[in-house]
Amino acid sequence: MIAASLFPLMALIGGGIDMGRGYLAQSRLQQACDAGTLAARKRLGSSVAVDGIVPADVAETGRRFFNINFRDGAYGTENRTFTMALENDYSLTAVATVDVPTTLMAVFGYTEMPVEVSCGSIQSFNNLDIMMVVDTTGSMRHTNAGDTLSRLESLKQVIRDFYTTIDANKAPNTEIRYGFVPYATNVNVGHLLSDDWIVDAWTYQGREDTGIRVPSEEISYTYYRNWQDVSGTRDEWAVSSSYAATFNPSPNPDEPGTYTCEGTQPANSWSTQNVDDEASERTEVQAEPPAILRIVDGQKTHNGTRYRTVRNGDTCNIEASTDSGYVQSYEKVQVIPSIERTMWRYKPITHDVSSWRSEQDGCIEERDTYPIDDFDNVDFSRALDLDIDLIPDAGNPSTQWRPRYPEEIYVRQIKTDGTGTFATQAKTTSDEYVSSGTWWFSDCPPAAQRLAQLSSAELDTYLDTLVPYGATYHDIGMIWGGRLLSPTGLFAADNADTIGRTRGRHMIWLTDGQTEPYDLAYGVYGIDGLDQRRWQPGGSTSLSQTVEQRFGVACEQVKNRNITVWVVAFGTVLNPIMEECGGPGRTFQASNADELGDVFQEIASSMSELRISR
């Protein structure tokens, strides 16, 4: 009986030993398979969804990690294989096999056990809120060296590719939302604000008609019009002689030189004589600007030869034209300004702005703030503009925003010829002061977009609205990007996390230039040189420094809401304030469209989650 039971006992013991060796090999093989696909998927990146290009070393990276984790011959195994495949959802799958030689089971004819495992890795996106804060100032119409599109058009294409990358790799039932804040001197957010977040009346730096008229101090001037040929002859210009033009090499070897005509030409023998018919005098009334026109008829007689030099490539041609009793008639117009001018009272003027939605374009003035002298200790009870979560109190105008009324703005006491200095006191004068609210650097940028799930067509429609204009004020872009993205502020009802659904929050802040404020500009803080809400002329900091310091404070407020801020300089360099805002690994410089595309793909990869899918 003992002899009879010996073989079954050996089979039982041998099977247990060999099965244990097989399970160990399978477990380690699974770990190596997972490591190989994870490494390869990370190397594959996210841009494959856009350009369809699979880096040549993806397979090698996967094999290298597989081989490190399961060496050839490990645990006595034989015939190791590892094969990967790229799936339609851009995941990487693999199958790994080995043969495990048996020990005691070989006695029973089982010499090896085949072991096979499968694995897969995917890079995907879970719930994300992505706010694009985009510099749309005038310099965005420029084209970077090596590019064929302007900076703004290049950025639009990069954003489309970024969207495609995330859309192709997002996990099922994932909510990806996009928002946009185009910024320049101002931000266009009025359409996003409730009526009770806006004041009913606001005071603007303007002027009013006093009803007083004073004698004009303007001097009359004369011009000629309605020229007609009467008699005589005038020859067409014809070449009388030529000489070689002088070549001037360019100091820049990459630029061509120029040609100039430096020779002499014959002296003119040309004379003219004007005869006015005073008996023909008559007057007209000009409405705008008010003036009386004194008009007389006359004739001008031309005789003699005139010369001119015209360059044609590397040749200078001397051309001549001869007049013989050539007579032209004309009207001589003397402009006599109106004998009266308006006396204006330049001062802060309060307006009822209850109809602002139909009267204005959506840009705003900020709520109350103060000129900060210690940016390490900001008083947010006074700097309400930098408290990005503060919800306005309908009964407290200091917490509310004010609509922008550019046509009401007049800058005391800066004249239209550029002379004069800022004066906060009221002024009564007939002088015309600058109306800078309508100047280019006071322009209202395109409308902002709240966070929303967008189709590719909806994204294209929005990007088409972006146009470059205005000056560069970085602080207001950061402030409003934070407001529209914050989970605890104005739009908390839509932005806050809910049970079972959390969001990753990211702000991509992009500029193509340094801070470029103008004290004459009409922006979100009125006229900086006159209203002095955030800055005082002659203080310890310049207006540019003030804007940048406030940008830094706003950035910290954004990051305090658990928002990741990515800072991108496109066609420009990062300054220390920008670098501090983004921090290590989240600040980038791109000199052209290709580099900008790489930056956005790196940001996309950082937003994604790399995980085992099978």
Distance, CA of 87 to CA of 209 (rounded, Å)? 74
**Residue 231 burial (CB count, 10 A):** 11
Cβ pair 99, 113 in contact under 8 A: yes
Distance, CA of 208 to CA of 189 (rounded, Å)? 29
Cis preceding-peptide flag for 425 (omega within 30 of 0): no
Label residue 64 exposed, middle or buried (CB < 10 Å: 0-12, 13-18, 19+).
middle
Number of H helices, E strands in the chain: 12, 26
* pLDDT of res. 104: 57
Give whole-number Cα distances, 458 to 49, 129, 179, 324, 462, in Å. 20, 17, 12, 70, 6
Cβ pair 483, 489 in contact under 8 A: yes
The CATH class, in words, for 128-211+345-613 is: alpha beta
**Residue 105 burial (CB count, 10 A):** 21
Distance, CA of 546 to CA of 159 (rounded, Å)? 31
Grouped pLDDT means (10 residues each) for the chain, 614 residues: 52 58 86 88 72 77 91 89 84 90 62 87 84 96 94 97 89 90 98 96 96 76 91 92 92 82 94 94 84 92 94 92 95 84 93 95 97 95 97 95 97 89 93 93 96 97 96 97 97 88 92 93 96 92 95 97 96 94 95 96 84 66
* pLDDT of res. 399: 98
The string of DSSP letters for 121-157 reads EEEEB-SEEEEEEEE-SGGGGS--TT-SS-HHHHHHH
Closest CA to 546 of 579, 574, 577: 577
Cβ pair 386, 369 in contact under 8 A: yes
Secondary structure letter of residue 392 according to DSSP = P
Query: 418-424 long-range CB contacts below 8 Å, 24 or more apart?
Result: 422/519, 422/529, 422/530, 422/537, 424/530, 424/532
* pLDDT of res. 47: 64
Secondary structure letter of residue 526 according to DSSP = E
Distance, CA of 435 to CA of 422 (rounded, Å)? 13
Taking phi over 0 as left and psi of -120 to 50 as alpha, with beta for the rest, 370 belongs to: beta
Domain boundary assignment for the chain: 1-124, 128-211+345-613, 217-337
* pLDDT of res. 12: 47
* pLDDT of res. 336: 83
Distance, CA of 404 to CA of 476 (rounded, Å)? 14
* pLDDT of res. 8: 55
Tokens of 595: 């580099």
pTM of the model: 0.69
Q: Give the phi and the psi of residue 421 in degrees, each rounded to 5.
A: -135, 160
The string of DSSP letters for 25-52 reads HHHHHHHHHHHHHHHHHHHH-STHHHH-
* 551 three-state secondary structure: helix
